[in-house]
Structure 1
Amino acid sequence: MTRRLLLTYLSIAVLVLLCLEIPLGLIYSRAERDRMISAAHDEAASLSAFAELSMAAGREPDLPGRVSECARRIGGQVTVITRSGTVMATSHSLSEQQARKLLGRPDVAAALGGTGSTDVRISRIGGVQHLSVAVPVGHDTPPAAAVRILVPTDTVHARVHRVWLLLALAGLAVLAAVAGFAFAVARWAARPIRELRRATAQLADGSLPGPVTVTDGPPEIRDLATTFNQTAARLEHLLASQRAFAGEASHQLKTPLAALRLRLDNLEPAVAPYAQPSLNAALTETDRLARMVEGLLAMARLEEKSATREPVDLERICTERHNTWAPVFEQYHVLLALTGDRAGPVLALPGAIEQILDNLLSNALRHSPPGSTVTIEVRHHAPDRHRPAPDGRAPRVDLHVTDEGPGMTEEQRRRAFDRFWRAADAPKGGTGLGLALVQRLAHAGGGDITLQSGPTGGLDAVVSLACANRPDTSHAFAHPRTPSQQLSTHI
């Protein structure tokens, strides 16, 4: 903003100076030219009158002295010449040939021809621009002689150039003063905006700034600062309420659910055989409610804080989650395979990739028929020129979790990331929060997730992650199914 205000003020100042100084310089140049012409004309008329009196009184010998004096005064050349080409007086040496050429000059010829009282011309002689003034001597027609004055104009041009230089220096001085004043005004006007920008950046990073104190600047900026302080205070109150909810709900909701689950388990020996299906359904819904509460709390904790991305070992995490989930998949007669390229470290929130894989594998297992295969695959990302990566040109890695289940339609894939949304033909036990949590975890780590049709008709969940450094693609890894001793919690 400071630069734009400064450029605006300077542009206006330059425009004003041009509108003032250019006409002033042109007027001065024209006035100097007119003054020089008028002075030369006055000298020529005075010398012409003196020459007429000298010729009438028979005092022609006095004429050379007056001519020399006039030439010294104007700094030029003065010549009095008759119609026959006789030089009566001259301030410089002049041969007969030069005298004859002088008769052919347009200004001298016009004066001797009696066509006008004076003839003023500007011409170049020897590469130097001169002002030539020729006037007739006497009032006869045609006159007997003529006075010619030749004045170089370099002196006038030097004065004009000096004036233009002074105008330019004055303009630069004015521009410097305007620039200093404009810079001070721009800094004064932009200072509140810089404060608001700093506070907004802190708010975007997750750290709530204190109230922005703006006591100067334009009224609109002060009003904006007041509105920003009110917004920041409101956000701080909402975040405090959310933190309080996440902390209190974790205990207040999980404890009754655990007690309810325990009571249902204790009822199982006393339930009649015909009521066993109802008890099993109640236990299933209780577990689903517990997972839903865990998912909501996880999303609330994710939204309330701004975590920093860290480099994590994607290959190690994929191997660990494969080893953990493989025995569970075996129980359902589903093969869990791990393959792909070496990825190296990627950027993600701490613990986010584990949760992403747990949710994607849980969904894949729920929709996979017996005898099918679920594949965890790591591929180096192929850039899409129509959809640039969130991290610009940073190398990326795609984590694929592909199943061979019924898959989803295009409409279902668009809605799959909505909270609590579940397809009409989805198996029982889901909460509708898993994919929503996966998407938030991926976005919080600077990545993205998309759902695509699998090569065999199932679903291919693709998580795009930014590399912490350039990946090494010289080797690939593939792991068979390995037993594990513990299954992590999933939604």
Structure 2
Amino acid sequence: MTRRLLLSYLTLAALVLVCLEIPLGFVYSRGERERVTNAAKDEAESVSAFAALSISAGRAAQDLPERAAHCAERIGGKVLIVDRSGALLASSHPLSEREGRTLATWPGIAAALEGTATADVRTSTIGGVEYLAVATPVRHGAEELGAVRITVPTRTVHERVRHVWLLLVLGGLGVLTAVVAVGFAIARWTGRPIRELERATHALAVGGTAVPVAITKGPPEVRSLAATFNRTAARLEHLLASQRAFAGEASHQLKTPLAALRLRLENLENEIAQHARGGLTAALTETDRLARMVEGLLAMARLDESAAERERVDLDRVCAERHRAWSPLFAQHGVHLAPAGDHAGEVLAVPGAVEQILDNLLSNALRVSPPGSTVSVDPRRHVPHERRFPHRPAGAGWVELHVVDEGPGMTEEQRRRAFDRFWRAPDAPKGGTGLGLALVQRLAHASGGEAVLRPAPRGGLDAVVRLPAAARANPGADLARPSRPLQRAVPGGR
């Protein structure tokens, strides 16, 4: 914000300076040229009057050369005086024979010999130096006696104009420097309340305590924003505290009655008639389903209120552990659990997320896989060749964890809705809660990745979880401080 305010101040100041200094420079330049031109005209008129008196008195040969030399020395230019036929009467500088013969044809002298009332002002280049030429007729009453031509170098005018432009530029730079100093102070003072709000918002976003922002200065809009932020932060803190209390209390208050209910149902097994055993089994199944649903909801509640930082997780080690844990259960159902893929390395994830993701995906895959089929776990590392992730460390990319089954699969519409809470496919096996994939997606997002469902090549489902890969450099160093692992839950169901 400070840079933007300072840039706006500089832009406005530069625009004002340009609008003022450029016209001022042109006005001064034009005034200097007009001043030199008028001075040359006045000098030519003075020499013309003197020449008219000298020619009338018959003293042109005696008086005019001295007058021409004196005038040329005073103005730093050249003076020529000719008679009515264009013959040279006096010159402040030597002329060649050819120049002497052609004086009457010179543009300024020719116009003056014709008796033009206005002086002929011309700018020519002689020897690489610009001159201002003024020619005026010599008259005695109504009689035309000759002409006077004065040339003045304009180098002095140009030097003065350049000096003025230089002063204007230096003055503008000085003004801009002052604007930078004053504007920076004003921008810092103006942006201080916004920076305090930004720090408080960042602290609240990373899971810190909502600290009220005390802003008593600044624009009314900023004070109103601070008051709104304080109310929002207080309400959010209250909601988070309520959710933490719910997660902690419900974890005990719900599990204990469910465990007691299941125990009582199991104790009734030997006391009920044989024909009622089916209802008891269904009640036990629903009790287990309710327990898994409660566990899934509590896991999501803990994930929502948790501020766990991402840490490095060895994906290959986790896949191997979950393969060993799930292989006996897959073998009981006649389904082969096949590890696949190359070395994937480490990923960044919240603690316990990868284990819960794999448990939920494997539970879903086992539920829909027919006997004799295969479920594969395939981690794949992808290093981006294009600059799509400039914030990632060098050599890092993404790791895709594929869990592929050979079950009935899902339609495109079902795959889009599969991550909704409590949604289950119409033909899904009984016993699921509809929270497994929802929890997978939340864990993937919390770890900086994503989860999608794709059709498998053999007609089943390819559940893909994309996680950010950890940089290969210093593989043993933690990128984030460790935090409490999330409690693993396998609610099951799609």
Fold similarity call, TM over 0.5:
yes
Q: Distance in 2 between matches of 1:59 and 1:72?
A: 22
CA distance in 2: counterparts of 1:117 and 1:383, whole angstroms:
81
Aligned AA (1:326)? S
Superposition misfits of 4+ residues, deviation over 6 angstroms: 382-385, 387-393
Distance 2:117 2:211 in 1: 89
Shift of 1:62: 3.2
Are positions 1:415 and 2:426 aligned together? Answer: no
The one-letter code sitting in structure 1 at the alignment partner of 2:461 is L
The answer on whether the counterparts of 1:391 and 1:446 sit within 8 Å (CA) in structure 2 is: no
The answer (yes or no) to whether the contact 1:395–1:470 under 8 Å persists in 2 is no
Answering whether residue 267 of structure 2 is matched by residue 259 of structure 1, we say no
Taking structure 1 as the reference length, the TM-score comes to 0.90
Cα drift, residue 368 of structure 1: 1.8
Secondary structure at the counterpart of residue 269 of structure 2: helix
**Aligned amino acid, residue 9 of structure 2:** Y
The answer to whether the 8 Å contact 2:119/2:135 transfers is: yes
1:38 CA drift (Å): 1.4
**Which amino acid is 2:406 matched to?**
E
Q: Which moves more between the two structures, 172-181 or 147-156?
A: 172-181
- Partner SS, residue 432 of structure 1: coil
Check 1:146–1:388 CA distance in 2 against 1; reply closer, same or farther (3 A cut).
Answer: closer
Which position in structure 1 is the counterpart of 2:485?
none
1:303-318 paired onto structure 2 within 5 Å: 303-318=304-319
Change (3 A) 1:299 1:431: same
State the secondary structure of the residue aligned to 1:28.
helix
Q: Is the Cα–Cα contact under 8 Å of residues 400 and 461 in structure 1 kept in the other structure?
A: yes
Aligned to 1:466: 468
Match of 1:480 in 2: none
C-alpha separation in 1, matches of 2:119 and 2:437: 102
Normalization by structure 2: what TM-score?
0.89
Give a deviation string over 1:154-205, Cα, whole Å, max 9, x none.
1121112111111222222222222222222222222222222222222222
Matched, 1:20 2:17: no
Aligned to 2:158: 157
Summarize deviations over 1:56-75 as a string: whole Å, max 9, x none: 33444233333333222212
Could you tell me how far 1:459 is from its partner in structure 2?
A: 1.8
> For residue 445 of structure 2, what is the amino acid of its counterpart?
H
Q: Which residue of 2 is the match for residue 434 of structure 1?
A: 436
Instruction: State the one-letter code of the partner of 2:147.
Output: A
Summarize deviations over 1:267-317 as a string: whole Å, max 9, x none: 222112122111111111111111111111111111101211111221221
Aligned to 2:332: 331
> Is the deviation greater in 134-143 or in 315-324?
134-143
- Aligned residue type for 2:414: Q
Provide closer, same or farther for how the CA distance between residues 311 and 64 of structure 1 changes in structure 2, counting only shifts above 3 A.
Answer: same
1:19–1:390 Cα change, 3 Å: closer
Q: Does 1:222 align with 2:223?
A: yes
Long gaps (5+) in structure 2: 474-487
- Partners of 2:128 and 2:462 in 1: how far apart? 88
Aligned-residue Cα RMSD (Å) equals 2.5
Kindly report which structure 2 residues correspond to 1:384-395, keeping only aligned pairs within 5 A, or say none: 394-395=396-397
Matches within 5 A, 1:319-468: 319-381=320-382, 394-468=396-470
Give the total of aligned pairs. Answer: 474
Superposed CA deviations along residues 68-119 of structure 1, whole A, max 9, x for unmatched, are 3322221212222223454333323345443223332111122122243532
Q: Percent identity?
A: 66
In structure 2, what is the Cα distance between the partners aligned to 1:391 and 1:79? 82
Is the contact made by 1:114 and 1:142 (CA closer than 8 Å) also made in structure 2? no
Return the alpha-carbon distance in structure 2 between the equivalents of residues 62 and 287 of structure 1: 133
Match of 2:247 in 1: 246
CA 286–391 in structure 1, closer or farther in 2 if over 3 Å, else same? farther
Letter in 2 for 1:15: L
